[in-house]
Amino acid sequence: MPHNEEAEIAVLGSILLDPKNALDVARMRLANVGIKVDSSGKRNAFYNPAHQLIFEAIVSAADNDHERPDAITLADQLERNGQLEMVGGRAYLAQVANSVPTAANIEQYAEIVRQNAFLRSLIGAGIDLVDRCFEPVDDAQSLADQIEQEIMGLSSNEGESTIQTIKELWKPAVQYINDLAQGNAGARGLATGFKTVDKLITGLRPAEMIVLAARPSIGKTALALNMASALAMSEDNPVPVGIFSLEMPARLLVIRLICSEARIGLSEIRDGALSDGNWQQVLTAGKRVGKADIVIDDAGGLTILELRHRARQMKREHNIQALFIDYLQLLQADAGRNASRENQVALMSGSIKALAKELDIPIVVLAQLNRQAEQQGQKPKLGHLRESGAIEQDADVVALLHRNREEQYSSEDARKGVEAELIIAKNRNGETGIANLTFLPAYMRFADRSRVADEDVPADAI
């Protein structure tokens, strides 16, 4: 029968390494797959009976509040259940526990186990189908209908049904429309900190993938940090925020957050030009930033599977309500060696969209535009998204950041701030348009163009 012994062991080893997160993935992937083994409808996802017993013991331990079962506690539990020798004893449990160096690939391992379990279910159903077809029947069409239902049932048992009727949905939909019309905060997405942007996209909404794209050095990281800090440091409704910084170390991100909050340019700090008053501003801003519920992961070279795993961990441990990824093209796809870069980016884009739906949070993904977006006098377009049109297809919102490069500004321009545009080129659930912003390059901060106050304008030019 189809199975993969190494993948089954790797799933169990990953769970023992990281019970909190890997067990959630395994449960989700392996729920309701496999051949029924008793009248209660219980299913075995693992081909090796010993592996199924180990998995059930881990689940039982986790459900009884033993958050981190290991080979020793697991062996003790199995011995008390009279099952230790059935699974190969303590030596085999130790071998399983040391089978993988990291739990990062748990999704891939669990998917291999799931696919094989599903194939075994199909084979079992096929064998039963053949046997029944050889038996005398009164109505062959009725038998065909029963067989069709059973085959369809195998697919539906892979997870909970997501089918809903309009009768269930129309009342909540009308209530949402009413809340939106009344201006209730709960009906809108999370505020980005920019009223002109929120007016167009109605905030960052759960389960949506928002792409923020620009050419290098235009300020997309700065804009994303401004949004993240607005969410986490909101006076009305602060929420936990997660950030994956694949390009910049976490320490530098925090420095930029503090400088932006203090309205102090990083160049002033480097040049040793801080007055006592400015230094006090930095300390005060540092304390405010330090209280913000922002979680940063700056690991480089992440694969999309590793990112999904870590994002689930952020959600589980910190209950993040929004996630920022800087940036898409620095991720690595878990695709075959011969896959084109366009196919790899398409795979990553689709995975991020699926992750947003799974975690039910908005995910803001930064992305690069191609060189055509730099041509003189031209504003960026959807077609300038680098390497894959799948980004445009998967995204609920695509925002293209546009401004002239800093070296073209006069000192007077730099002192007052420079004009920038956030072009909402795609908005699946709303209108497109342009949000006019002002960029304050001295401390990498954006503001609504009409809302730039005197204290926001740096005293000195760049």
Catalytic residue list = 247
What is the rounded CA–CA span in Å between residue 155 and residue 348? 25
Question: Could you tell me the end-to-end alpha-carbon distance of the chain, in angstroms, rounded to an integer?
Answer: 69
Torsion of CA 434, 351, 385, 190, to 10 degrees: 20
Q: At what angle do helices 71-80 and 49-63 cross, to 10 degrees?
A: 100
SS3 of residue 46 by DSSP: coil
SS3 of residue 67 by DSSP: coil
Cβ neighbours of 453 (radius 10 Å): 7
Pair of tokens at residue 246 = 């694949």
CA-nearest of 217, 179, 213, 185 to 198 is 185
Pair of tokens at residue 234 = 């909101």
Pair of tokens at residue 239 = 């929420």
What is the rounded CA–CA span in Å between residue 444 and residue 223? 8
35, β-bridge pairs: 44
Burial class of residue 362 (count of CB atoms within 10 Å of its CB; 0-12, 13-18, 19+): buried
Pair of tokens at residue 109 = 């391992």
Cβ neighbours of 132 (radius 10 Å): 12
Number of separate helices (H) and strands (E) present in the chain: 17, 11
SS3 of residue 393 by DSSP: helix
What is the rounded CA–CA span in Å between residue 60 and residue 81? 12
In this structure, the chain runs to a length of 462
Q: Tell me: cis bond preceding 327? Omega within 30 of 0 counts.
A: yes
Burial class of residue 90 (count of CB atoms within 10 Å of its CB; 0-12, 13-18, 19+): middle
Pair of tokens at residue 71 = 């080979």
What is the rounded CA–CA span in Å between residue 181 and residue 176? 9
What is the rounded CA–CA span in Å between residue 35 and residue 150? 13
Using alpha carbons only, how large is the chain's radius of gyration in Å?
27
